[in-house]
């Protein structure tokens, strides 16, 4: 079992995120590794933090030289639990063995970003460690935004609309045997407690229907809005309710599987996508389309292609320059009460990699020149393929670009990733017959772009103006090469 | 006492010719005086007569041989009765320890009787290892069949697995009956006299059994075993508050059962109950679950055997009071802090299993007749299982093996101790190395161990000034384990890098209980790592897990064995 472990560790606080110190620490004979990093990567110190807090990222350690990703076997600690220096926090399965990851810091496990059974690439954040109890909440919101921006979905059709509230709880009267003498204490079975923890159900609020009024696993499942995995011994048949009426967002009473169909559990990436997609439903979005003439762009592309410039870089650069003039489209609204103008324009670009989807981020797309952007992009795609993207390389986007033009798709509509203001869906550029204002017909290469935006902060006119600017840049692309 | 000693020795010397007659030839090669080494000075006075006796034995040896032949023809291998005693050896208690001793005694030519007050087979066969293995065999299969993911990874499809409680219980009971009969028959077949009734020591070399049957023997072995230990405050009703004795009958499968004690008994039952659908709450007095196991092993075991299952636990607490379910109330368990004794919690469960260990069964054995004072019920013995009396002197001709002496409460340890005693009484000194006795816990996957744990070894190393190294390997690296989709598990070996001595081996994984013996044999025989690492293991087998350990160990000294080719006779 030759497992070498290297661990990185930085003691940077959020307020001082520039000075990332990292060092390899030699590890005890039992090969436990500790990995921490401050939450905000050095490149994205755009938002000033008012709270001087230390929230550390726990990231997937490299437990062997061949390890590219690791599976979380189990979290030894649960969210909110206090950690003492040297305690094991999480168990990670590498290609070779299971290993405990222990903490070098006292603090609280504030948030679990990658759940049990899920896989994360080496270096990806798997959890957050807060120094004080007060910072747990803050870290949690951080975790939510972190996981939401890590993977972005662009081409999935919108899920079926939510028709009604969750299924009514099928509560049963407690059995007669419940002996009430004095104040009743909560009695819950071991599995019920486990499920409550898992589904974040407050066990105190669950009504127990088991023997002696105790809370059973199915009580917790009912409270969590999940169809009980096993029907209890003899439940009185509930009044028939139409199945469709109970379709909740996360919990649907699925019809039985058709014969010969197989169930495939989500990969870590699929789960992340799924989670983000569900989250995206809480954001009111709208879409605006715009035809863009690409004759000039195509000509430019032919010219710069030999120099290694890609269409993606051209589009990202154009979007970045347009965003610089319309900062509201580059803004993000996270809490629904306020929004923030992002200091950097980081263009996330959706990439399909063997069945998965990831959004490497071209940082400062408006500032970097075309050649640097192209170079950067190649590097990112290579890293994405080998699953070696660092978290800040895929979760720091402020605007997303999704291009399906190469597949001949002429137009489509993307889902807005949570935490961003807008996403642009780019279709194929096709020769199209157009009539100019003088009534002359001509054939021009035209590309349809469609932007989905968060209507809480971006309004129709904003988007229209942004698209106009974008179209102008594409149609007069000389500025791109400046 | 002095006179008793003298008497016993004079008897020994007088009866020796008879006794030696039954022994195999090898006896003569061992120094006769060894047996007396540890005893009083008077003993040496007999050495001359003893030698004489030995000489005469040699003359008689041939005739004895012929007797044995005729004896075996009449299918009675038990030794001839000694002149002044009814038997050479009487064993009180026909458990696994007594059985092992009896078989070996007959092999050594001793006329042997075994007294059993209950049923042949004792705890192990009737209320312990044997029926629990039957239940665990069921639980292992249930677990596998219920694990859809596991089945699917094989490409297997199984519809919902279910069980019939009575069928499971019958399997356990039938197995116990079968093994009990086997045990009984194996003793009958070689002519061991099985005497029924409660046995007790009347005096030196004198035993009473049943109502008032008195028999004498040159040597006596006490092998009365143990019973489940129930701490005070706990009321066992056999229905809702039970011990392993009741649990093995599987009269019910409660929805929620508290298991008091997380040692291997508790662990095995948690495996059975959770596989059959119960939820389990462990109550452990120590600060962590599975005390007694190597810390690393217990940590991993907890991760695999506890955390993903429907089990929760309270550690650092005593169950100060347990009231069985009655009057429409559930089983009530009052927990107090193990250190401060302050009340901590009250649990309401459907049943409670008391698995807090076992207490020696030594009451009414007549130990006062030989001035033996038990310690917490255990009979004090020296390293040769010779009983020590209240004054700290050895009681001649009286031995105690198994759970009753508390040295190592395992069935096979009792048996090994019994064989060791028989070796001694038949003239060959023998001291059992308890560190070479393996132990196993038959959960899914299994846990097994032999020798020292890592902390124990480090402590010993520090005290005696040697370095201690540890190697580990994962079952994930084993082809056979992966073929079985059972890559979960580790094996670790603790050893001395300076001379290659194996100090301990701990395995958690598929078939760990079977795998441990390569290590325990190596420890028992003193095989060093640098030698055993050259031995070949079939591929692909789980045994390669140990091979991996041996090969990964870094030993400074070189192999001592000659090359294999020298040894092989073609």
A211–B472 C-beta distance less than 8 A: no
Q: What is the three-class DSSP state of A72?
A: strand
pLDDT exceeds cutoff 50 at A310: yes
* Facing residue for B329 by CB, picked from A96, A179, A191: A179
* A241-275 per-position pLDDT tens digit: 444 444 344 444 556 667 677 777 777 777 778 88
Instruction: Give the model's pLDDT for residue B328.
Output: 85
pLDDT exceeds cutoff 90 at A225: no
Instruction: Give the model's pLDDT for residue B288.
Output: 87
A29–B328 C-beta distance less than 8 A: no
Best of A100, A187, A190 to substitute, by most chain B Cβ atoms within 10 angstroms, is A190
pLDDT exceeds cutoff 90 at A203: no
A97–B476 C-beta distance less than 8 A: yes
Cβ neighbours of B348 in A, within 8 Å: 187, 212, 214
pLDDT exceeds cutoff 60 at A50: no
Query: Given pLDDT bands bounded at 50, 70 and 90, which one contains residue B494?
Result: very high
What is the mean predicted confidence (pLDDT) over A308-336? 90
* B88-139 per-position pLDDT tens digit: 999 999 999 999 999 999 999 999 999 999 899 999 999 999 999 999 999 9
* Facing residue for A1 by CB, picked from B303, B308, B472: B472
Most confident of A89-93, A477-481, B368-372: B368-372
Does the CA dihedral A353-A357-A362-A365 come out positive or negative?
Answer: positive
Instruction: Give the model's pLDDT for residue A79.
Output: 81
* Facing residue for B474 by CB, picked from A96, A100, A214: A96
What is the mean predicted confidence (pLDDT) over B188-196? 94
Cβ neighbours of B330 in A, within 8 Å: 211-212
**Which positions in chain A have a beta carbon within 8 angstroms of at least one beta carbon in chain B?**
1, 29-30, 73-74, 76, 88, 91, 96-98, 100, 177, 179, 185, 187, 189-191, 193-194, 210-212, 214, 217
Element (H, E) at B213: strand B213-222
Give which of B126, B131, B102 is closest to B180, Cα–Cα: B126
Neighbour-count burial for B389-425, b at 16+ CB within 10 Å, e otherwise: beeeebbbbbbbbbbbbbbbbbbbbbbbbbbbbbbbb
B308–A211 C-beta distance less than 8 A: no
Instruction: Give the model's pLDDT for residue A244.
Output: 40
Least confident range of A78-87, A454-463, B147-156, B341-350 = A78-87
A179–B348 C-beta distance less than 8 A: no
CA angle A385, A387, A390 (to 5 degrees): 120
Q: What is the three-class DSSP state of A426?
A: strand
Neighbour-count burial for A160-170, b at 16+ CB within 10 Å, e otherwise: eeeeeeebeeb
Best of A191, A195, A215 to substitute, by most chain B Cβ atoms within 10 angstroms, is A191
Instruction: Give the model's pLDDT for residue A118.
Output: 80
* A428-482 per-position pLDDT tens digit: 999 999 888 888 898 999 999 999 999 999 999 999 999 999 999 999 998 888 7
Phi, psi torsion values for A443, nearest 5 degrees: -105, 120
Burial environment of residue A62 by CB neighbours within 10 A (0 to 12, 13 to 18, 19 or more): buried
pLDDT exceeds cutoff 80 at B430: yes
Q: What is the three-class DSSP state of B559?
A: coil
Nearest CA in chain A to B345: A185
Instruction: Give the model's pLDDT for residue A65.
Output: 61
Query: Given pLDDT bands bounded at 50, 70 and 90, which one contains residue A94?
Result: low
Neighbouring C-beta atoms of residue A345, cutoff 10 Å: 24
A179–B312 C-beta distance less than 8 A: no
Specify which residues A289 forms β-bridges with.
Answer: A450
Average pLDDT, chain A: 74
Cβ neighbours of B280 in A, within 8 Å: 190
Nearest CA in chain B to A77: B307
pLDDT exceeds cutoff 50 at A417: yes
* A67-90 per-position pLDDT tens digit: 777 888 888 888 888 888 777 888
A190–B348 C-beta distance less than 8 A: no
What is the mean predicted confidence (pLDDT) over B46-67? 43
Cβ neighbours of B470 in A, within 8 Å: 29
- Computed on alpha carbons and rounded to an integer, the radius of gyration of chain B in Å comes to 26
Q: How far apart are CA B136 and CA B302, in angstroms?
A: 18
A462 vs A27 pLDDT, higher one: A462
Confirm if A146 and A271 have CB atoms less than 8 A apart. Answer: no
Instruction: Give the model's pLDDT for residue A358.
Output: 84
Nearest CA in chain A to B349: A189
Q: How far apart are CA A401 and CA A76, in angstroms?
A: 39
Give which of B108, B146, B91 is closest to B415, Cα–Cα: B91
What is the mean predicted confidence (pLDDT) over B280-302? 91
Instruction: Give the model's pLDDT for residue A247.
Output: 39
**Which positions in chain B have a beta carbon within 8 angstroms of at least one beta carbon in chain A?**
255-256, 279-281, 296, 299-300, 303, 307-308, 310-312, 328-330, 346-348, 350, 470, 472-474, 476-477, 490, 552
What is the mean predicted confidence (pLDDT) over A218-228? 79
Most confident of A93-102, A114-123, B430-439: B430-439
Q: How far apart are CA B25 and CA B310, in angstroms?
A: 59
What is the mean predicted confidence (pLDDT) over A55-60? 80
Distances from the Cα of A322 to the Cα of A315, A414, A466, A470, B410, angstroms: 10, 19, 6, 5, 79
Q: How far apart are CA B235 and CA B120, in angstroms?
A: 28
pLDDT exceeds cutoff 80 at B566: no
Confirm if A328 and A457 have CB atoms less than 8 A apart. Answer: yes
Specify which residues A100 forms β-bridges with.
Answer: A91
CA angle A108, A113, A116 (to 5 degrees): 100
Residue with tokens 């499971």: B168
Best of A28, A78, A93, A98 to substitute, by most chain B Cβ atoms within 10 angstroms, is A98
Instruction: Give the model's pLDDT for residue A147.
Output: 52
B477–A96 C-beta distance less than 8 A: yes
Nearest CA in chain A to B309: A191
Cβ neighbours of B289 in A, within 8 Å: none
Instruction: Give the model's pLDDT for residue A253.
Output: 54
Q: How far apart are CA B48 and CA B107, in angstroms?
A: 28
pTM reported for the whole predicted model = 0.58
- Active-site hit among B150, B434, B517, B539: B539
Element (H, E) at B64: helix B47-73
Q: Encoding tokens for residue A48?
A: 């000033």
Alpha helices per DSSP H over B426-511: 454-464, 479-483
Cβ neighbours of A97 in B, within 8 Å: 474, 476-477, 490
A190–B310 C-beta distance less than 8 A: yes
Cβ neighbours of A193 in B, within 8 Å: 312
Nearest CA in chain A to B474: A97
A358: closest CA of chain B, how far (Å): 28
Average pLDDT, chain B: 85
Q: How many residues does chain B have?
A: 570
Instruction: Give the model's pLDDT for residue A232.
Output: 36
* Crossing angle (nearest 10°) for helices B544-552 and B512-525: 50
What is the mean predicted confidence (pLDDT) over B202-219? 93
Query: Given pLDDT bands bounded at 50, 70 and 90, which one contains residue B509?
Result: very high
Give the pairing of strands B311-315 and B279-284. Answer: parallel
Cβ neighbours of A191 in B, within 8 Å: 279, 310
């Amino acid at each position: 079992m030759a497992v070498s472990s290297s661990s990185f560790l930085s003691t940077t606080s959020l307020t001082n995120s520039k000075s990332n110190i990292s060092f390899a620490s030699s590890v005890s004979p039992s090969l436990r590794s500790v990995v921490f990093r401050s939450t905000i990567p050095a490149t994205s110190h755009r938002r000033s933090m008012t709270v001087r807090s230390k929230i550390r990222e726990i990231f997937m350690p490299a437990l062997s030289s061949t390890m590219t990703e690791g599976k979380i076997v189990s979290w030894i600690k649960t969210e909110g639990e206090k950690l003492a220096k040297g305690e094991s926090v999480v168990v990670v399965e590498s290609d070779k063995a299971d290993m405990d990851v222990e903490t070098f810091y006292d603090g609280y496990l504030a948030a679990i970003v990658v759940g049990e059974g899920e896989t994360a690439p080496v270096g990806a954040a798997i959890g957050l460690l807060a120094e004080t109890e007060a910072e747990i909440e803050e870290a949690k919101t951080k975790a939510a935004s972190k996981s939401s921006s890590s993977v972005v979905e662009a081409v999935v059709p919108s899920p079926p609309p939510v028709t009604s509230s969750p299924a009514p709880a099928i509560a049963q009267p407690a059995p007669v045997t419940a002996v009430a003498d004095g104040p009743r204490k909560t009695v819950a079975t071991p599995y019920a407690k486990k499920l409550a923890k898992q589904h974040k159900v407050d066990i105190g609020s669950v009504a127990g229907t088991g023997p002696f009024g105790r809370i059973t696993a199915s009580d917790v499942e009912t409270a969590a809005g999940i169809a009980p995995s096993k029907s209890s011994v003899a439940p009185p048949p509930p009044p028939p309710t139409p199945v469709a009426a109970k379709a909740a967002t996360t919990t649907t009473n699925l019809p039985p599987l058709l014969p010969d169909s197989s169930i495939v559990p989500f990969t870590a990436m699929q789960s992340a996508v799924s989670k983000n997609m569900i989250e995206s439903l809480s954001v009111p979005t709208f879409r605006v389309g715009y035809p863009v003439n690409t004759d000039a762009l195509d000509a430019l592309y032919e010219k710069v292609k030999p120099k290694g410039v890609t269409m993606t870089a051209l589009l990202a650069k154009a979007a970045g320059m347009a965003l610089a003039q319309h900062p509201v489209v580059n803004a993000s609204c996270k809490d629904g009460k306020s929004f923030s103008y992002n200091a950097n324009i980081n263009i996330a670009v959706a990439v399909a990699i063997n069945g998965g989807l990831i959004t490497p981020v071209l940082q400062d797309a408006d500032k970097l020149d075309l050649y640097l952007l192209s170079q950067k992009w190649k590097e990112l795609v290579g890293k994405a393929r080998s699953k070696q993207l660092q978290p800040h390389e895929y979760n720091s986007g402020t605007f997303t670009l999704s291009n399906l033009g190469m597949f001949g798709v002429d137009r489509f509509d993307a889902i807005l990733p949570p935490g961003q203001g807008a996403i642009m869906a780019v279709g194929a550029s096709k020769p199209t017959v157009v009539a100019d204002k003088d009534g002359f017909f001509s054939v021009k290469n035209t590309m349809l772009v469609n932007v989905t935006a968060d209507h809480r902060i971006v309004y129709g006119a904003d988007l229209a103006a942004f698209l106009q600017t974008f179209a102008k840049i594409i149609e007069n692309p000389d500025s791109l090469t400046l | 006492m002095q006179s008793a000693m003298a008497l016993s020795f004079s008897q020994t010397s007088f009866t020796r010719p008879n006794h030696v007659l039954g022994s195999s030839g090898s006896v003569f090669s061992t120094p006769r005086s060894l047996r007396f080494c540890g005893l009083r000075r008077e003993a040496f006075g007999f050495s001359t007569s003893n030698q004489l006796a030995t000489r005469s034995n040699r003359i008689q040896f041939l005739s004895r041989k012929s007797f044995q032949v005729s004896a075996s023809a009449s299918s009675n291998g038990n030794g001839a009765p000694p002149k002044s005693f009814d038997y050479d050896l009487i064993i009180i208690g026909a458990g696994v320890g007594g059985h092992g001793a009896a078989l070996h005694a007959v092999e050594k030519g001793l006329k042997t009787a075994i007294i059993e007050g209950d049923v042949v087979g004792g705890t192990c066969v009737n209320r312990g290892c044997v029926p629990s293995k039957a239940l665990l065999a069921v639980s292992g299969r249930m677990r596998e069949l219920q694990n859809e993911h596991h089945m699917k990874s094989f490409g297997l499809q199984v519809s919902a697995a279910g069980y019939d409680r009575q069928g499971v219980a019958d399997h356990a009971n039938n197995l116990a009956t079968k093994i009990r009969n086997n045990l009984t028959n194996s003793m009958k077949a070689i002519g061991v006299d099985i005497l029924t009734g409660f046995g007790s020591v009347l005096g030196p070399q004198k035993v009473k059994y049943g109502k008032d049957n008195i028999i004498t023997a040159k040597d006596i072995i006490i092998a009365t075993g143990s019973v489940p230990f129930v701490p005070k405050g706990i009321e066992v009703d056999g229905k809702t508050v039970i011990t392993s004795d009741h649990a093995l009958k599987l009269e019910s499968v409660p929805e929620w059962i508290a298991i008091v004690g997380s040692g291997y008994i508790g662990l095995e039952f948690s495996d059975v109950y959770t596989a059959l659908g119960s939820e389990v709450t462990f109550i452990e007095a120590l600060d962590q679950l599975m005390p007694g196991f190597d810390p690393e092993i217990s940590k991993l075991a907890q991760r695999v055997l506890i955390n993903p299952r429907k089990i929760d636990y309270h550690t650092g607490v005593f169950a100060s009071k347990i009231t069985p379910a009655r009057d429409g109330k559930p089983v009530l368990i009052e927990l107090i802090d193990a250190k401060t004794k302050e009340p901590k919690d009250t649990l309401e469960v459907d049943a409670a299993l008391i698995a807090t260990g076992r207490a020696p069964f030594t009451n009414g054995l007549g130990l006062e007749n030989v001035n033996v004072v038990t310690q917490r019920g255990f009979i004090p013995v020296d390293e040769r299982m010779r009983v020590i009396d209240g004054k700290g002197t050895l009681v001649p001709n009286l031995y105690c093996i198994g759970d009753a002496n508390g040295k190592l409460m395992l069935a096979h340890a009792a048996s090994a101790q019994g064989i060791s005693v028989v070796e001694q009484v038949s003239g060959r000194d023998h001291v059992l190395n308890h560190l070479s006795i393996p132990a196993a816990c038959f959960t899914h996957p299994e846990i097994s161990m032999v020798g020292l744990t890592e902390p124990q070894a480090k402590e010993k190393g520090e005290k005696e000034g040697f370095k201690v190294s540890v190697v580990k390997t994962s079952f994930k690296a084993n082809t056979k384990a992966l073929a079985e989709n059972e890559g979960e598990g580790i094996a670790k070996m603790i050893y001395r890098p300076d001379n290659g001595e194996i100090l301990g081996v701990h395995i958690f994984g598929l078939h760990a209980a079977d795998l441990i013996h390569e290590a325990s044999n190596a420890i028992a025989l003193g095989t060093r790592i640098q030698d055993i690492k050259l031995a070949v293991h079939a591929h692909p087998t789980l045994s390669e897990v140990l091979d991996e350990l041996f090969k990964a160990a870094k030993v400074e000294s070189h192999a001592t064995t000659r090359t294999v080719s020298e040894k092989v006779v073609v």
